[in-house]
Chains A and B, each alone.
Chain A
Amino acid sequence: MKRRTVLKLTASALLAAGIFAGPAFAEGDVLKFGASAPKTGPLAGGSAVTHWPAIKLWVHDVNAAGGIKVGDKMMKVEVIEYDDRTSGEEAVKNIQRLINVDKVDFLIAPYGTGLNLATAPLIAKHGYPHIAVTAVTDKADEFVSRWPNSFWTLGTSTAFASSVADVLKTLRDKGVIGNKVAVVNVADAFGIELANAGKPALKEAGFEIVYDTSYPLGTQDLAPVISEAKKAAPDAFVGFSYPPDTFALTDQAKLADLKVGAFYVGVATAFPAYIGKFGGAAEGVLGAGGMNPDTPVMQAYLKRHKEVTGMDPDYWANPVTYASLEILKQAIERAGTIDRAKVIEQLKNGSFDTVVGTMTFDGNINRKFWTVGQWQNGVFQGVSSTGVGGEKEPVAKKGWN
Chain B
Amino acid sequence: MSAFSGREIRVFLAAAALALAAALPLADQGYYLSLAVNVAMYAVLCTAWALFSGPTHYISLATAAFFGLGAYTVGLGIDTVPFAALIAIAGLVSAIVAALVGLATLRLSGVYFVIFTLGLAELTRQVVTWLQTNFTTGVGLYVFTDLAERHIYWMLLALGAAVYLSGWLIARSRLGFAMRIIGNDETVAAHVGIDTAVSKVLLFMISGAFIGMVGAILAPRFAYIEPPAAFNPMISFQVVIMALLGGSQRLWGPLVGVIPFTILFDFVSGQFPNHTNLMIGAAFMLVVYFIPNGIVGVMERLRLRLGLRKTPSASGQEKAA
Write the residues of chain A forming the contact surface with B, with a CB cutoff of 8 angstroms.
39-42, 81-83, 85-90, 92-93, 96-97, 99-101, 113-114, 117-118, 120-121, 139, 146, 187-189, 192-193, 196, 214, 216-217
Q: Does A40 contact B277, Cβ atoms closer than 8 Å?
A: yes
Q: Does A97 contact B31, Cβ atoms closer than 8 Å?
A: yes
Q: Does A188 contact B273, Cβ atoms closer than 8 Å?
A: no
Q: How far does the alpha carbon of A325 sit from the alpha carbon of B285 in the complex, in Å?
A: 41
Q: How far does the alpha carbon of A214 sit from the alpha carbon of B126 in the complex, in Å?
A: 12
B195 within 8 A of A: no
- Can you list, as one digit per residue, whether each of B110-154 has a CB less than 8 Å from chain A (1) or not (0)? 000000000000000010011011000111101010000100000
Q: How far does the alpha carbon of A81 sit from the alpha carbon of B270 in the complex, in Å?
A: 8
Q: How far does the alpha carbon of A139 sit from the alpha carbon of B221 in the complex, in Å?
A: 19
Which residue of the partner chain, among B226, B232, B276, contacts A189 with CB atoms under 8 Å? B226
Q: Does A82 contact B229, Cβ atoms closer than 8 Å?
A: no
Q: In the complex, what residues of B have CB within 8 A of residue A96's CB? A: 30-31, 33-35
Sample of 8 A–B contacts (CB below 8 Å)? A39-B273, A82-B270, A83-B269, A93-B35, A101-B30, A113-B140, A196-B137, A214-B133
Q: How far does the alpha carbon of A100 sit from the alpha carbon of B29 in the complex, in Å?
A: 9
Q: How far does the alpha carbon of A31 sit from the alpha carbon of B35 in the complex, in Å?
A: 26
Q: How far does the alpha carbon of A117 sit from the alpha carbon of B219 in the complex, in Å?
A: 12
B227 within 8 A of A: yes
Q: Does B34 contact A93, Cβ atoms closer than 8 Å?
A: yes
CB distance from A346 to the nearest CB of B (A): 27
The main secondary structure of chain B at its interface with chain A is helix
Q: How far does the alpha carbon of A85 sit from the alpha carbon of B270 in the complex, in Å?
A: 12
Closest to B266 in A: A93
CB distance from B94 to the nearest CB of A (A): 19
Q: Does B222 contact A82, Cβ atoms closer than 8 Å?
A: no
Q: How far does the alpha carbon of A266 sit from the alpha carbon of B221 in the complex, in Å?
A: 30
B108 within 8 A of A: no
B260 within 8 A of A: no
CB distance from B195 to the nearest CB of A (A): 38
Q: Does A83 contact B34, Cβ atoms closer than 8 Å?
A: no
B109 within 8 A of A: no
Tell me the B7-66 residues at the A interface (CB within 8 Å).
30-31, 33-35, 37-38, 41
Q: How large is the interface on B (under 10, 10 to 19, 20 to 34, 35 or more residues)?
A: 35 or more
B205 within 8 A of A: no
B239 within 8 A of A: no
Q: Does A100 contact B30, Cβ atoms closer than 8 Å?
A: yes
B218 within 8 A of A: yes
Write the residues of chain B forming the contact surface with A, with a CB cutoff of 8 angstroms.
30-31, 33-35, 37-38, 41, 126, 129-130, 132-133, 137-140, 142, 144, 149, 218, 221-224, 226-229, 232, 234, 266, 269-270, 273-274, 276-277
Which residue of the partner chain, among B138, B228, B269, contacts A82 with CB atoms under 8 Å? B269
CB distance from A41 to the nearest CB of B (A): 7
Q: Does B30 contact A99, Cβ atoms closer than 8 Å?
A: yes
A118-B222, A118-B224, A120-B223 as given contacts; A192 in contact with B133, CB under 8 Å: yes
Q: Does A192 contact B232, Cβ atoms closer than 8 Å?
A: no
Q: How far does the alpha carbon of A188 sit from the alpha carbon of B227 in the complex, in Å?
A: 8
Q: In the complex, what residues of B have CB within 8 A of residue A121's CB? A: 223
Shortest Cβ-Cβ A-B pairs, 7 listed:
A100-B30, A117-B224, A96-B34, A93-B34, A96-B31, A100-B31, A88-B222
Q: How far does the alpha carbon of A192 sit from the alpha carbon of B133 in the complex, in Å?
A: 7
Q: How far does the alpha carbon of A216 sit from the alpha carbon of B140 in the complex, in Å?
A: 15
Q: In the complex, what residues of B have CB within 8 A of residue A81's CB? A: 273-274
Closest to B136 in A: A192
Closest to A139 in B: B142
Q: Does B223 contact A117, Cβ atoms closer than 8 Å?
A: yes
Which residue of the partner chain, among A93, A114, A189, contacts B138 with CB atoms under 8 Å? A189
Q: How far does the alpha carbon of A100 sit from the alpha carbon of B31 in the complex, in Å?
A: 6
CB distance from A256 to the nearest CB of B (A): 25
Q: How far does the alpha carbon of A42 sit from the alpha carbon of B226 in the complex, in Å?
A: 13
A39-B276, A82-B270 as given contacts; A101 in contact with B229, CB under 8 Å: no
A93-B31, A118-B222, A121-B223 as given contacts; A85 in contact with B234, CB under 8 Å: yes
CB distance from A314 to the nearest CB of B (A): 21
Q: How far does the alpha carbon of A92 sit from the alpha carbon of B269 in the complex, in Å?
A: 14
Q: Does A83 contact B276, Cβ atoms closer than 8 Å?
A: yes
Q: Does B37 contact A89, Cβ atoms closer than 8 Å?
A: yes
Q: In the complex, what residues of B have CB within 8 A of residue A90's CB? A: 38, 269
A87-B229, A192-B138 as given contacts; A118 in contact with B129, CB under 8 Å: no
Q: Does A118 contact B276, Cβ atoms closer than 8 Å?
A: no
Q: Does B133 contact A93, Cβ atoms closer than 8 Å?
A: no
Q: In the complex, what residues of B have CB within 8 A of residue A114's CB? A: 140, 222, 224, 226, 229
CB distance from A4 to the nearest CB of B (A): 34
Q: In the complex, what residues of B have CB within 8 A of residue A93's CB? A: 31, 34-35, 37-38, 266
Chain B CB count within 10 A is highest, among A42, A88, A90, A120, for A88
Q: In the complex, what residues of A have CB within 8 A of residue B266's CB? A: 93
Q: In the complex, what residues of B have CB within 8 A of residue A92's CB? A: 34, 149, 221
Q: In the complex, what residues of B have CB within 8 A of residue A193's CB? A: 138-139
Q: In the complex, what residues of B have CB within 8 A of residue A196's CB? A: 137-138
